[in-house]
Amino acid sequence: MKRIAKTTAHAITNLSDTRVKSMAVKDIGALPASIIKFLNYIGVICFLGLIALSSCEVKPKVGFLMDSLEVERWDKDRALFEEKVKELGGIPLVEIAGSNADRQMEQAQKLIDEGVDVLVIVPVDLEKAGAIVKLAHKNYVPVISYDRLIKNCNLDYYISTDNINIGELQANYLTKISPTGNYILISGPTSDYNAYLLRLGWMNVLQPLVDKGDISIVLDEFSNFWLPDEAYRILSSYLKDNNDVDAVICGNDALASGAIAALQEYNKAGKVLLAGQDADIQAVRNIVAGNQTITIYKPIESLAYAAANAAIKIANGEAPSNMNITVNNGKRLVPAILLQASVVNSQNIKMTVIQEGYIGEQDIFN
Ligand code: GAL
């Protein structure tokens, strides 16, 4: 849809005013001819400028509020999203909150003041971001929740991967190798709804085995951040007093790398099954080295492109396509797209992340 600048109609009205005024000046004949000539010249220039302005399309502005770029994948999300928005004729405006929910709120206000037509949000905090949705709606700006669900608010759309399924993929893989034994679960922070969804997936697989008495969950903790130090802290405090662990399931690869550091200190790296998520370069190297069993590869390109496509459609007043399911965010059933992820193990690295161009072969094997 072509959007003509609101100002153009206004300006054309002003132009006719200018000509009327210049005619009036001529009639009066009180000004020297050179000034009248100059005024006419200005009038012609303005007229041509306004013709150009009225035929030009106003580009939709798409705000992208991100949490942090600390975890490797988010650089890719950002680049792909920006690229797609530009390709579709929009202007991406990106802000990074540095894991600070209050700052994310300020950044939302800033982008709204800059006139964004739609906001795409990776929420720092699943609940606090509800206030951003409220603020956006007050300003007639629709909101898409990206990767992480914003809870308990009138969120417009949600685009992510099926996080429960990711948890199931991780737990299924490890329990196939070790259907009995002691399992440790290290989740992401409780401020991120994905941490709960992943754990739900883990428990869908593990609970029946726990009930049968085959598996014991000897440690089950949420971290404060999605970062290596957190998993290192959690796991090493367990290993200090306990020796018996067969498998560790982590919410992402950053946590998994902290788990490896703890396992290494107790000479257990490579002897304990370990699952992560994100297909970080280091995680894939760890898989090659035998210190990590699997990671999960999420289709970041499809995710970013789906969000950019939806954002541009919404900004242009159209309904976004492919919102084929709904997800309950505690307040409403949010129209959503949930993409599928896949397992990366030592056998399929080339067929998955390398073949899809997600990671270069030389980055892994050098
Ligand atoms: C989660 C996301 C993960 C991981 C993590 C840390 O919400 O699902 O892929 O990147 O954030 O940023």
Residue type, 55: S
Mean pLDDT, range 322-332, rounded to an integer = 97
Nearest atom, ligand 1, residue 278 CA: 9
For residue 218, report the phi and psi dihedrals to the nearest 5 degrees. Answer: -90, -15
CA nearest 60: which of 115, 140, 122, 139?
Answer: 115
Cβ 252 under 6 angstroms from ligand 1 = yes
Number of neighbouring beta carbons within 10 Å of residue 83 = 15
Q: How far apart are CA 153 and CA 331, in angstroms?
A: 6
The pLDDT confidence band at residue 365, using thresholds 50, 70 and 90, is confident
Amino acid type, 259: A
Alpha helical stretches, state H, the chain: 6-28, 33-55, 73-87, 101-113, 129-138, 163-177, 193-211, 228-239, 253-265, 281-289, 300-315, 361-365
Q: How many percent of the chain have pLDDT more than 90?
A: 84
Measured from the Cα of 226, ligand 1's closest atom is: 6
Token pair belonging to 167:
């948890």
Residue 4 one-letter amino acid: I
CA 252/CA 161 separation, integer angstroms:
14
State the Cα–Cα distance between residues 91 and 82, nearest whole angstrom: 8
Q: Residue 91 has what DSSP assignment?
A: E
* pTM of the entire predicted model: 0.86
Confidence of residue 16 (pLDDT cuts 50, 70, 90): very low
> What are the tokens at 187?
């989740």
* Average pLDDT of the residues in 170-178: 98
Ligand 1, atom nearest to 198 Cα: 8
Radius of gyration of the chain (CA): 27
Query: Distance between CA atoms of 261 and 32, rounded to whole angstroms?
Result: 86
Average pLDDT over residues 68-81: 97
185 lines ligand 1 (CB under 6 A): no
Rounded to the nearest whole angstrom, what is the distance from the C-alpha of residue 221 to the centroid of ligand 1? Answer: 17
Q: Find out whether 184 and 219 touch, Cβ atoms under 8 Å.
A: yes
Is the pLDDT assigned to residue 164 strictly greater than 60?
yes
Residue 366: band (very low, low, confident or very high) from pLDDT cuts 50, 70, 90:
confident
Which contacts of 44-51 are long-range, i.e. CB under 8 A and separated by 24 or more positions? Answer: 46/15, 46/18, 47/15, 50/8, 50/11, 50/12, 50/15
Query: What residue type is 212 in one-letter code?
Result: K
Strand-strand pairing, 333-339 and 157-161: parallel
Query: Residue 131: helix, strand or coil by DSSP?
Result: helix
b/e map 335-359, b = 16+ CB within 10 Å: bbbbeebbbbeeeebeebbbeeebb
β-pairing, 333-339 vs 325-328, is antiparallel
Cβ of residue 283 lying under 6 Å from some atom of ligand 1: no
